Amino acid sequence: MPAQPFLDWLHRVDPTSADLTLADLRREPTIYLLPEYDCEDEALDCLQEVVSEIFEEQLAGWYRVPSSWPKERDLRTFLRWFEYRRHSMVFDLGTEPLLHQE
């Protein structure tokens, strides 16, 4: 979920976002599934591999001008700009097969 640095950036680059709050940005967080892991360090290693992609997707979801995006989009910056939570179990209660989209 976006954290305060993300909101501060959005307010700087997009004048139409002035009334948005952190609660607005967090209303419907995006969920990303990572491969299985045994410990927190492994989870962070998995996240490290895709952090740039996730970071860019989140930025583009709010402001589609890449030249305004932060230059540093590494794991360290990501962990400041976003609240990261991991959950070890996800249950699919749907009856349809899962689809993979790239």
Residue 43 domain flag: yes
Residue 96 domain flag: no
Which residue did the predictor score with more confidence, 56 or 37? 56
Domain extent at residue 41? 4-81
DSSP-H helix ranges across 1-102: 4-13, 22-26, 40-62, 75-81
Say how many domains are in the chain.
1
CA distance 27 to 69: 22
Give φ, ψ of 52 to 5 degrees.
-65, -45
Quote the pLDDT of residue 65: 97
Residue 75 domain flag: yes
Quote the pLDDT of residue 90: 85
Task: Kindly report the average pLDDT of the chain as a whole number.
Answer: 94
Single pTM value for the model? 0.87
Quote the pLDDT of residue 50: 97
CA distance 46 to 44: 5
Distance of CA 80 to CAs 46, 74, 83, Å? 18, 10, 7
